Amino acid sequence: MQGEIGVRHSIDYDMCINCGQCLINCPFGAIEQMSFLEDVMEKLNGGWTVVAIVAPAVRVAIAEEFGKPPGTLTVARLHAALKKAGFKVYENNFAADQTIMEEGTELIGRVAYWELGLKEIEFEITDSYPGSWRKKVRLELKEFENRPLPQFTSCCPAWVRYAELYYPEILPHISSCKSPQQMAGPTAKTYGALKVWKVSPEKVYTVGVMPCTAKIYEASRPEFNSAWRWLREKGLIPESVPPFRDVDAVLTTRDLAELFRRKGINPLEFSENENPEDFEWYSGGGTIFGTSGGVMEAAMRFAWSVLSGQEPPATSEEWDFVKVRGYTYPRVHASVTIPLKKELRKETGIDEVTLNVCVVNGIGFGGMHIKPVIEEVLAGTSRYHFIEVMTCPGGCLNGGGQPVEPMGTSWIDPVLPLPL
């Protein structure tokens, strides 16, 4: 955004990271987002299997559009309303659990290679859903020689875009994992289509329901057509089927509210009782992705479980890494000491490992919150192993696709960053 007080502003689209903060903070309501509402309405009425990939921040905001106070939680009611509208539901929380297993595994690999000096590492992961499974993972750590520490998160597409535009040299530090939305899309069009809904993959239309305008940009990136490539490789779709994207469209929270209004649906009129099925299961680790520090806390839980071999009860305070929660601060720093399990103690000769982590809560005006962190990494002086970045202050909860408040969201973004 360019311009001064009293002068007409403009957006340099080539340098825009699509975060939408200008939209929800514009005092004149002069900025609009791209909308796929008409396309989604057409697909709902046109014989497609339309899958809603619902982000956790949406269910604490959608009620605002129907007269309830901000923060009113709607989970089962939102699911029921989506089904009434004709959607299949794929919880983005479920995809966030997929993400943290992948991103956490990558973090373990980088730490094992660079910090512990190992050549390989083997561990077991499990899920927390009905019919839970266990899987042994064995990592050959040579592949991590080009993936240095610290590792940055990759869930926020506006942050990834910021890095690509302004600090491309930092890209090897960013996790190679897709965001939850981009993991959900191809899973819905492959496993979901073939095994769960038993429909033709090319007739599955995936819709991210997001608090974030940057997700619209992310879904449009040409490299995200992995479902189509895999299905073609396996001969599971006709060769005549043209390339299709993993996520076909994105609706913001505001868009979804308008869709419900057009269909005469009020999500608050449904029951909050629910029997989850298929892709509606998820853990608390996925749920907290929607707030600053949530990805970090989920990653610390994963790292603790893998490296220590311990798994405290779900309600145990040992799972509460309060120090990494960043909602009210521009940057949060913490050190998490993890006792190593017996095999790792024997192999490394040490009893514990301390992970230094940083949470960047909103990149700040002109990047003021994130720039000092990046510049230390590039200078080789960073003490961190893992860094979470969310572009919007407070995290996805205050994304550019959320209901617009009269005061905007800039008031929660601290003016001065804390010292490193």
**Given 215, 292, 305, 358, the catalytic residue:** 215
Cβ contact 189:201 at 8 Å: yes
388 is catalytic: no
**Given 65, 91, 106, 280, the catalytic residue:** 106
Distance CA 32, CA 17 (A): 15
Residue 47 structure tokens? 């014989």
Main-chain phi, psi angles of 315, to 5 degrees: -95, 5
223 is catalytic: yes
155 is catalytic: yes
| CA angle, 97 then 98 then 102, to 5° | 115
The helix or strand, by DSSP H or E, that contains position 347, with its residue range, turns out to be: helix 342-348
Residue 115 structure tokens? 């910090």
Cβ contact 277:196 at 8 Å: no
**Given 65, 91, 103, 297, the catalytic residue:** 103
Q: Is the peptide bond before 150 cis (omega within 30 degrees of 0)?
A: yes
218 is catalytic: yes
178 is catalytic: no
Distance CA 183, CA 246 (A): 9
234 Cβ contact partners less than 8 Å away, ≥ 6 residues apart: none
Distance CA 39, CA 46 (A): 10
**Given 154, 175, 305, 382, the catalytic residue:** 175
Residue 137 CB: number of other CB atoms within 10 A? 14
Distance CA 169, CA 133 (A): 39
**Given 64, 91, 202, 218, the catalytic residue:** 218
Distance CA 188, CA 246 (A): 9
**Given 19, 65, 154, 155, the catalytic residue:** 155
311 is catalytic: no
Question: How many contiguous H segments (helices) and E segments (strands) does the chain have?
Answer: 13, 10
The helix or strand, by DSSP H or E, that contains position 356, with its residue range, turns out to be: strand 352-361
**Given 32, 223, 239, 317, the catalytic residue:** 223
E strand intervals along 194-255? 204-210, 249-252
Q: What is the CA radius of gyration of the chain?
A: 21
Catalytically active residues are 103, 106, 155, 175, 215, 218, 223, 396
